[in-house]
């Protein structure tokens, strides 16, 4: 029976459909996937470094000291200083908040919007579905960096606009994913039953579809965190992303490229930070996919 | 097919076995110039970018050219195509007698008709370079070697405008390449059709441009059989190529790279005072900057000396007034302001603007702008003024400048012709408010009066006097913050001889008289 | 569904993409604050002069008229005139696009040549050290900012070692091969110009390797996953039981079948590579679309930006269409239905 709130009663087993998350199984499997564990450890360390450490590190990332410009790594400045004497360690740590924050924002926005659109499109079907999917095809047909560049240029170069642009470009991926899964689930008996009981499409999405498509979305989202971060860095690198004096990793590499011959530390540390963080997200996402992907699960 | 196979074999053996030597000095009769960006258009009537002029300037000749003396470029002019000229007493009619024997690269002689054609085209197209010329310019052919310009209003700097890249004389035969009434603009964008010492012979877009001598050039035969302009966007790569001998001249190197290069054997760094001025626009129309006291406080708060030492590594000269050193009309008695935070604070308090919040607009057009903006932000913070930086796309930034939507903004200015008019009339005439020049939106009747008189006055002495009076008023009004004139640094191999720097010709090389030693 | 029906439907989609993409780009480029007429006229020009240029360019007309004119021109192969260079956009794209395509194809070939063996090894020795190594390599590949990697290899191979040139597509002192196809490499082979070919190959190595590095991992990952699917199939077990050697089963039977689904991934990789190319080109002075499009965006050169987006999207969809058709031809199961 479906209650007033649309909560299905008496059918708890459907929560563990093809794509539902089994946390117990997940943690058990994680131990068997060393790469995923490495990824997880990296992410935890990076998060500690960028969230906790700056709180008690007494260095202002934007303080200029023209007398200490372009100083190499030392006990005072572990990562050296930049062309106006700012401490690169402090900037890398603070910049991480921006870079990782961009990744999280983009993924949360595009995954939730994309899942909603894709799920509803799949449930409703018909011409609306066709229209939505064609539109997504068109968006997917434009090379993503070009679209983000054009959007960032149109809306004005700022980190916020770059984030919106990247989120927009990532939406179709989730729409397709969610719709594909929804089409399968739609035909399940319990969903047909819910329809008979006049559940609204939103209710079906919330109570029947969403729990079942969550894990592929989660895997995709984890993988996307790294990609979104890299894309934001790329936009900043060509001047369409984060603006001064904000420390963002891509922008720091862009500024440091002119000093790369004599002051390697300027671009090496932010570059290494991006690489490390993206590796963390991708290892974790890869491992999760291996564990969760039903096709591969059958063989493991 | 066999040939193709042999070629492939050659690649496999040579390409893999032999290490590619980076130290390959370019041949003696070839000059290779490394540039950061591809030129956009080479049409003299369209381009307003020095980056294009590297190629277009030596391809065309003009009626007059800048003089040089003892290896030093001067801002005075002498005849190039013109042998001599006369001007009427009222300054309205200019008559030029052309030298015989100058020819375009196809052998057609340069005559008065070609001069008329070029200026008519320039005025008709009304694009960027046309702006430097009076729009009521009438050109008449008196005889094949005599051309007459008639103005409706006296314009004292007229002669100097004729040495501009825009005043290049174009071969009238280009009309054959005209498409849809575009005045052959599409064709001239990618080709040259002048009588200068060199002509463009190949342009591999985004990669390199090749200039070769004009066989019909009337002057002495140039030393280089080829001048190659190579596009190398990455500054570090330009430096490496110069060090390795793949480039003879590397443009646009960041100061730190130049400093490092100055210690490299085989590389020669020339440092020349330029007329390129970096300054801050203070929006005179927008409170609280509409009060002169607030503007004076800003000027007082900014430590220009520290900016020059810290950001330019000392490669600049602090300015006190609008006319830079090296341009006639410069007044050495107007000295640069020394920073004084206390006084700045007092001025702000007096004006009731303590703790003001101001925006600072900049773009990534010049890599020094950002550190300067950061330094200004820190200076003003010390004086209790909060500055928020707005780094805009260059187009957006210019649009905001034009509309006056900023409090403080940073800009560079270099003169199109060697006359203080370029500074005084553009920066302070209330009719030029906005992007055209008066970017601080300054307005004062007395100054308008002085500078407009100076623009038509007959003698240089009289003009200097008028400009001088005006300078003292605008400096007192703190219309702008004059930061510095930057030194131009030219990084080249030490084998390259005969380069003459002219502050009016940045990024332009006298490739016809340069040469290479062994 | 017949082959023709699919073809017709996909061609219809191609038209839809062109309209959709041009509409999106048109809308975007006209949202950009800034006035291209002002950029042409120069900062110091009067407002009247700017207005005159705006009128000449048709920028004063209503947007739908401008768009209509654009589409009308597009159908005739006219992409408008670049505001920045004053040349026809089509001419500029023809000058720049082949270089980008050349770089993308080189990178793609590199990633397939390295990625396929790695993916097979990874699948065959699943969960063994080699599998972990390949997967770690794949992850590092997709996690590396291409622009940063480009700077590093440039310094290493040009700056320190001096083995390879620092940028560009061919040594400017070598006379380039005649333009047959616009692809320097192919042109040099056709012309039999050995010097040019050596120079072109040397110049291609660093940018292609940088761009391909990211995709080696992606290809390896895809092949690995498809191979695992195949190795789990009944026919593989039957063949093994029937006494065929392991390597024979893997290389003769499983790999060809695993390649088929991987073909579609190549189409998608093409799009990613185009995106990567824009960044790689700026570092390596590669004379492709990357620098051109960045400069055009900065100069508000609407016709150039639109022309670029439409042409690239068109190429992308076309490549994917060809890939899908190849897939239909290759895959026996789909042929049966058709």
List, for residues B69-126, the tens digit of each pLDDT value: 888 888 888 999 999 999 988 889 999 999 999 999 888 999 999 999 999 999 888 8
Residue of chain A nearest C231, judged by CA positions = A299
Residue of chain A nearest B376, judged by CA positions = A64
CA distances from A22 to A28, A190, A296, B135, B403 (A): 10, 20, 16, 78, 60
Q: Do A64 and B393 touch (CB under 8 A)?
A: no
How many angstroms separate the CA of residue A258 from the nearest CA in chain B? 6
B232/C172 Cα distance (integer angstroms)? 12
Label residue B468 by pLDDT band (50, 70, 90). Answer: very high
The better pLDDT of the pair B363, C182 is held by B363
CB contact, 8 Å: B9 with chain A?
Answer: no
pLDDT value of residue A155: 67
Task: Collect all residues of chain B within an 8 Å Cβ-Cβ radius of residue C151.
Answer: 234, 236
CB contact, 8 Å: B392 with chain A?
Answer: yes
Q: Do B240 and C170 touch (CB under 8 A)?
A: no
Domain positions in chain C: 1-84+301-338, 89-298
Chain B, window 435-494: residues with a beta carbon less than 8 angstroms from a chain A beta carbon: none
Label residue C32 by pLDDT band (50, 70, 90). Answer: low
Mean pLDDT of chain C: 80
B476/B295 Cα distance (integer angstroms)? 10
Task: Collect all residues of chain C within an 8 Å Cβ-Cβ radius of residue A234.
Answer: 145-147, 279
pLDDT value of residue C2: 65
CATH number at residue A226: 1.10.3720.10
Question: Considering the domain boundaries, does residue A17 fall inside one?
Answer: no
The better pLDDT of the pair B99, C77 is held by B99
Q: How many domains does chain A have?
A: 1
The better pLDDT of the pair A84, B510 is held by B510
Alpha helix (H) residue ranges in C125-193: 129-143, 146-154, 184-191
How many angstroms separate the CA of residue A154 from the nearest CA in chain C? 4
Among A84, A240, A259, beta carbon nearest to B374? A84
Label residue C256 by pLDDT band (50, 70, 90). Answer: confident
> For the residues C41-48, what does the mean pLDDT come to?
72
Question: Considering the domain boundaries, does residue A71 fall inside one?
Answer: no
CB contact, 8 Å: C29 with chain A?
Answer: yes
B511/C5 Cα distance (integer angstroms)? 63
Interval A140-173: pLDDT, tens = 777 666 677 767 666 666 778 788 888 888 898 8
Which of A40, A132, A143 is the best residue to mutate to test the C interface, defined by the most C CB atoms within 10 Å of its own CB? A143
For residue B264, pLDDT over 70 is answered with yes
The verdict on whether omega for the bond into residue B288 sits within 30 degrees of 0, i.e. cis, is yes
Q: Do A239 and B256 touch (CB under 8 A)?
A: no
Residues in chain B: 518
pLDDT value of residue C177: 73
Whether domain C89-298 has CATH 3.40.50.720: no
Output the CA torsion sign for B9, B12, B17, B22. positive
The better pLDDT of the pair B378, C302 is held by B378
The better pLDDT of the pair A46, C330 is held by A46
The better pLDDT of the pair B26, A1 is held by B26
Q: Which chains have 3+ CB pairs within 8 A of B?
A: A, C
Structure tokens belonging to residue A254: 């862009």
Residue of chain C nearest A261, judged by CA positions = C155
Which residue range forms the structural domain that includes residue A272?
A: 33-63+79-299
How many angstroms separate the CA of residue C216 from the nearest CA in chain B? 22
pLDDT value of residue B22: 43
Of the listed ranges A104-118, B236-250, C296-310, the one predicted with least confidence: C296-310
Which of A258, A263, A264, A266 is the best residue to mutate to test the B interface, defined by the most B CB atoms within 10 Å of its own CB? A258
For residue C337, pLDDT over 50 is answered with no
Interval C267-290: pLDDT, tens = 777 777 877 887 788 888 888 888
B311/B315 Cα distance (integer angstroms)? 9
pLDDT value of residue B291: 92
> Helix (H, G, I), strand (E, B), or coil: what is residue B226?
strand
Alpha helix (H) residue ranges in chain A: 23-32, 34-47, 53-56, 88-124, 126-141, 144-155, 159-186, 189-196, 201-204, 210-237, 249-256, 264-292, 294-297
For residue B8, pLDDT over 70 is answered with no
Question: Considering the domain boundaries, does residue A7 fall inside one?
Answer: no
CB contact, 8 Å: B10 with chain A?
Answer: no
Question: Considering the domain boundaries, does residue A112 fall inside one?
Answer: yes
pLDDT value of residue B19: 36
Label residue C56 by pLDDT band (50, 70, 90). Answer: confident
How does strand B357-363 pair with strand B408-413?
parallel
Question: Considering the domain boundaries, does residue A107 fall inside one?
Answer: yes
Interval B185-208: pLDDT, tens = 889 999 999 999 999 999 988 889
Question: Considering the domain boundaries, does residue A138 fall inside one?
Answer: yes
> For the residues C9-16, what does the mean pLDDT come to?
79
Which are the contacts of C270, defined by CB distance < 8 A and separation ≥ 6? C104, C108, C316, C319, C320
Segments in chain A below pLDDT 50:
1-18, 294-300
Chain B, window 307-326: residues with a beta carbon less than 8 angstroms from a chain C beta carbon: none
pLDDT value of residue A280: 92
> For the residues B381-394, what does the mean pLDDT come to?
87
Q: Do C45 and B402 touch (CB under 8 A)?
A: no
Q: Are B347 and B294 a contacting pair, CB within 8 Å? A: yes
CB contact, 8 Å: C104 with chain A?
Answer: no
Of the listed ranges B183-197, B360-374, B446-460, the one predicted with least confidence: B360-374
> For the residues B474-502, what does the mean pLDDT come to?
94
DSSP B84-113: EEEE-TTS-EEEEEEPTT-B-TTS-B--HH
Question: Considering the domain boundaries, does residue A122 fall inside one?
Answer: yes
- Dihedral over alpha carbons A142, A143, A145, A147 (to 10 degrees): -10
Which of B186, B205, B209 is the best residue to mutate to test the C interface, defined by the most C CB atoms within 10 Å of its own CB? B205
Question: Considering the domain boundaries, does residue A10 fall inside one?
Answer: no
């Amino acid at each position: 029976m479906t209650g007033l709130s649309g909560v299905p009663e008496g059918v708890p087993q459907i929560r563990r459909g093809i794509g539902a998350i089994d946390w117990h199984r997940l943690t058990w499997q994680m131990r068997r996937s060393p790469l995923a564990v490495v990824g997880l450890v990296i992410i935890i360390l990076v998060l500690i470094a960028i969230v906790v450490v700056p709180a008690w590190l007494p260095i202002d990332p934007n303080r200029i000291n023209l007398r200490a410009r372009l100083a190499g790594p030392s006990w005072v400045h572990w990562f050296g200083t930049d062309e106006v004497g700012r401490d690169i360690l402090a900037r890398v740590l603070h910049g991480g908040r921006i870079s990782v924050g961009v990744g999280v924002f983009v993924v949360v926005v595009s995954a939730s919007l994309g899942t909603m659109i894709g799920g509803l499109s799949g449930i409703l079907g018909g011409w609306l579905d066709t229209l939505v999917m064609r539109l997504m095809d068109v968006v997917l047909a434009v090379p993503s960096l070009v679209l983000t560049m054009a959007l960032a240029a149109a809306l004005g170069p700022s980190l916020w606009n770059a984030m919106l642009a990247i989120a927009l470009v990532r939406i179709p991926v989730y729409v397709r994913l969610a719709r594909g899964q929804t089409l399968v689930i739609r035909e399940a008996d319990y969903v047909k039953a819910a329809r008979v009981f006049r559940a609204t499409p939103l209710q079906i999405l919330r109570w029947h579809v969403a729990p079942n498509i969550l894990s592929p979305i989660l895997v995709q989202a984890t993988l996307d965190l790294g990609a979104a971060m890299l894309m934001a860095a790329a936009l900043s690198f060509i001047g369409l992303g984060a603006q001064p004096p904000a420390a963002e990793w891509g922008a720091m590499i862009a500024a440091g490229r002119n000093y790369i011959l004599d002051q390697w530390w300027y671009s090496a540390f932010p570059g290494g930070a991006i690489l490390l963080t993206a590796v963390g997200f991708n290892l974790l996402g890869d491992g999760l996919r291996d564990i969760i992907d039903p096709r591969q699960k059958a063989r493991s | 097919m066999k040939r193709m196979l042999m070629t492939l074999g050659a690649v496999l053996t040579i390409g893999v076995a032999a290490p590619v030597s980076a130290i390959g000095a370019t041949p003696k009769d070839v000059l290779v110039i490394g540039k950061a960006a591809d030129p956009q258009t080479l049409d003299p009537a369209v381009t307003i970018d020095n980056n294009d002029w590297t190629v277009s300037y030596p391809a065309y000749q003009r009626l007059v050219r800048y003089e040089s003396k003892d290896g030093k470029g001067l801002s005075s002019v002498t005849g190039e195509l013109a042998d001599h000229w006369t001007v009427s007493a009222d300054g309205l009619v200019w008559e030029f007698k052309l030298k015989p024997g100058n020819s375009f690269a196809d052998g057609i002689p340069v005559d008065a008709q070609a001069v008329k054609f070029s200026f008519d085209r320039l005025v008709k197209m009304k694009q960027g370079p046309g702006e430097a010329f009076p729009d009521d310019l009438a050109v008449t052919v008196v005889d094949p070697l005599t051309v007459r310009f008639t103005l409706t209003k006296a314009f004292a700097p007229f002669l100097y405008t004729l040495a501009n890249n825009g005043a290049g004389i174009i071969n009238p035969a280009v009309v054959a390449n005209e498409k849809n009434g575009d005045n052959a603009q599409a064709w001239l964008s990618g080709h040259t059709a002048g009588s200068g010492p060199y002509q463009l012979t190949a342009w591999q877009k985004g990669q390199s441009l090749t200039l070769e001598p004009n066989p019909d050039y009337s002057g002495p035969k140039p030393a280089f059989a080829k001048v190659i302009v190579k596009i190398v966007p990455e500054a570090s790569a330009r430096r490496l190529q110069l060090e390795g001998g793949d480039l003879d001249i590397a443009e646009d190197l960041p100061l730190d790279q130049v400093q490092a290069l100055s210690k490299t054997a085989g590389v020669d760094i020339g440092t020349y005072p330029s007329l390129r001025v970096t300054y801050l626009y203070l929006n005179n129309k927008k409170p609280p900057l509409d009060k002169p006291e607030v503007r004076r406080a800003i000027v007082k708060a900014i430590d220009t000396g520290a900016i020059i030492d810290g950001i330019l590594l000392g490669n600049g000269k602090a300015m006190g007034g609008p006319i830079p050193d090296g341009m006639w009309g410069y007044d050495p008695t107007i000295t640069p302001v020394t920073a004084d935070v206390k006084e700045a604070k007092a001025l702000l308090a007096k004006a009731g603007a303590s703790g003001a919040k101001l925006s600072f607009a900049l773009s990534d057009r010049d890599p020094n702008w950002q550190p300067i903006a950061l330094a200004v932000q820190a200076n003003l913070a010390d004086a209790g003024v909060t500055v928020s930086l707005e780094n805009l796309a260059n187009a957006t930034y210019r649009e905001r400048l034009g509309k006056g939507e900023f409090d403080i903004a940073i800009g560079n200015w270099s003169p199109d012709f060697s006359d203080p008019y370029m500074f005084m009339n553009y920066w302070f005439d209330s009719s030029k408010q906005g992007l055209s020049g008066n970017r601080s939106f300054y307005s004062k009747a007395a100054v308008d009066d002085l500078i407009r008189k100076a623009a038509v006055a007959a003698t240089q002495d009289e003009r200097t006097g008028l400009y001088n009076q005006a300078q003292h008023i605008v400096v007192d009004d703190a219309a702008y913050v004059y930061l510095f004139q930057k030194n131009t640094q030219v990084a080249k191999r030490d084998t390259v001889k005969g380069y003459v720097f002219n502050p009016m010709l940045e990024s332009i090389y006298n490739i016809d008289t340069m040469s290479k030693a062994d | 569904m017949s082959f023709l029906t699919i073809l017709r439907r996909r061609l219809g989609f191609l038209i839809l993409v062109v309209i959709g993409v041009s509409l999106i780009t048109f809308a975007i480029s006209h949202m950009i604050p800034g006035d291209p007429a002002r950029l042409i006229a120069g900062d110091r020009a009067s407002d009247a002069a700017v207005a005159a240029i705006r009128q000449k360019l048709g920028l004063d007309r209503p947007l739908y008229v401008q768009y209509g004119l654009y589409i009308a021109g597009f159908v005739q192969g006219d992409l408008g005139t670049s505001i920045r260079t004053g040349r026809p956009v089509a001419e500029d794209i023809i000058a720049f696009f082949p270089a980008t395509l050349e770089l993308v194809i080189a990178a793609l070939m590199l990633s397939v040549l390295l990625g396929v063996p790695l993916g097979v090894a990874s699948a065959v020795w699943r969960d063994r050290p080699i599998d972990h190594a390949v997967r770690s390599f794949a992850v590092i590949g997709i996690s590396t900012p291409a622009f940063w990697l480009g700077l590093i290899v440039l310094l290493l191979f040009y700056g320190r070692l001096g083995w390879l040139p620092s940028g560009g597509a061919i040594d400017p002192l070598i006379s380039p091969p005649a333009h047959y196809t616009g692809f320097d490499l192919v042109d040099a082979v056709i012309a039999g110009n050995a010097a040019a070919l050596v120079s072109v190959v040397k110049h291609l190595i660093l940018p292609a390797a940088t761009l391909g590095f990211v995709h080696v991992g992606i290809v390896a990952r895809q092949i690995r996953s498809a191979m695992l699917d195949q190795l789990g199939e009944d026919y593989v077990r039957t063949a093994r039981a029937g006494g065929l050697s392991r390597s024979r089963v893997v290389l003769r039977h499983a790999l060809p079948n695993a390649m088929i689904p991987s073909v579609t991934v190549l189409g998608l990789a093409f799009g990613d590579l185009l995106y990567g190319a824009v960044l790689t080109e700026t570092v390596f002075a590669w004379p492709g679309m990357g620098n051109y499009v960045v400069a055009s965006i900065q100069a508000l050169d609407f016709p150039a930006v639109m022309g670029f987006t439409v042409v690239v999207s068109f190429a992308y969809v076309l490549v994917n269409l060809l890939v899908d058709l190849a897939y239909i031809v290759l895959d026996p199961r789909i042929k049966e239905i058709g």
